[in-house]
Amino acid sequence: MTNPEVLALTDIARQPLESSRSCGVEEVLLMGRRGPLQSAFTTLELPELGEIEGVDVMVDPADLEGISDEDAAAAGKIAKNNVKVLHDYAGHAPRPGHRRIMLRFLTSPIEIKGDDKVESIVLGRNDYAVGWIKRGPSGVIGTNKKRSQDTVDTVLNDLAGVSDVELVDLGSDYADQLTEWLTSRQPKLVTACLLAGH
């Protein structure tokens, strides 16, 4: 996204320089499978994106919803700083004539369309995660269990708002049936009873 004339003053090779002059890229979409707290930008990289002349960095404010100050602090100093910078980017409107870098979180490509070349990419939203995928590699089973329950509650709330989905009460013995089935498939399954010492 850097202006080719600025790149020409660096040690960039001739072929990529000529390519950057002729390609006419107006927008770059940078996707992250995980959320802003898990992004691996360094303290300098993320703010420097916003310093590229003629380029606006855009963040969907929805990608930052639900991130509390406590969550950001628990994720570490770099993550906390990154979230602050991302909030700054989310507050900016695109300027006419500027190219854009779009930062999208919790997004994965689910289909690539095209016959002989890529014509479009279908994106999916990664709305739900549990364990270390959700919080990063920290905490104990109890911490992750609480966060997992939060995710299950979110899934159920989301499903309750969908008109063509009917939630079925599986009955009180369903947990036992599920445990029996899982144990038949994975004899070393860790269950709540095992954790409780029964």
> Contact at 8 Å (CB) between 192 and 141?
no
Q: Tell me which residue of 110, 129, 130 sits closest to 120, measured CA to CA.
A: 110
Does the pLDDT at position 27 exceed 70? yes
Please tell me the predicted confidence (pLDDT) of residue 122.
Answer: 92
125-179 per-position pLDDT tens digit: 887 877 776 666 777 777 777 778 888 888 888 777 777 767 667 777 777 888 7
Average pLDDT score over residue span 11-19: 89
Q: Tell me which residue of 56, 123, 124 sits closest to 90, measured CA to CA.
A: 56
Q: Where are the domains of the chain?
A: 1-126
- Stronger pLDDT, 23 or 190, i.e. the higher one: 23
Please tell me the predicted confidence (pLDDT) of residue 24.
Answer: 81
For the whole model, what pTM was predicted?
0.65
DSSP β-bridge partners for residue 178:
none
Q: Tell me which residue of 163, 97, 108, 103 sits closest to 133, measured CA to CA.
A: 108
Please tell me the predicted confidence (pLDDT) of residue 81.
Answer: 94
38-87 per-position pLDDT tens digit: 888 998 999 999 999 999 999 999 999 989 888 888 889 999 999 999 99
CATH classification number, 1-126, choose in 3.40.190.170, 3.10.20.90, 3.50.50.60, 1.20.120.80: 3.50.50.60
